Amino acid sequence: MSDDVAAVLAAVGPRLRELRRRRGATLAALSQTTGIPVSTLSRLESGHRKPGLELLLPLARALDVPVDELIGAPAEPDPRVRPRPFTRNGMTVVPLTRKPGGQQAFKHILPAGLTAGREPDPRSHEGYHWLYVLRGRLRVVLGDQDLVLAEGEAAEFDTHLPHRFGNADERSVEFLSILGPQGERVHIRASYRPPA
């Protein structure tokens, strides 16, 4: 069990006691309403028993509160992503999304000279790719095309087409990428302007 989960479970006891007292209920009355023995309720409130769903659900019903309030879950989950960078073939990859599946966003950092002088070995896979160059110049080999994207330039393509990325020169390059399942593309909203 993680430290975060243990902390949440440990906080249930005091919260349960406070909610019960606010409603003017005794342990015996709560026991009668929920069917949970008084001794179990007492151990929950003192922190000597870890609550499971079989206890939390009837308690939440009896106290007329959502289970989230009983366990003290945050009202809104923390939206910050805490990326764990990894290195692949000398390139640092920083995941910018948390959930596997669906569209994934990454920041890529190619150190200076990493791919200079090397012939690319393009590969293909399922999906659709969108790139945006933050710093430097990115070489993109895409099928028979050999392109260079400068800072502020973007590209998107079907990843069934063999492709490879690299440094366009001896300098380092940083770029963002969004990779989605086949058929998912980055959509840019534009407003409709009727013809004049």
Query: pLDDT tens digits, residue range 104-142?
Result: 899 999 999 887 667 778 888 888 999 999 999 999 999
C-alpha span between 103 and 60 (Å, rounded): 37
Q: Are the CB atoms for 59 and 13 separated by under 8 Å?
A: no
Q: What's residue 182's pLDDT?
A: 61
Which carries the bigger pLDDT value, residue 131 or residue 196?
131
pTM, whole model, 2 decimals? 0.56
Domains and their CATH numbers in the chain:
3-71 (1.10.260.40), 86-180 (2.60.120.10)
Residues 6+ apart with CB under 8 A from 22: none
Q: What is the mean pLDDT of the chain?
A: 84
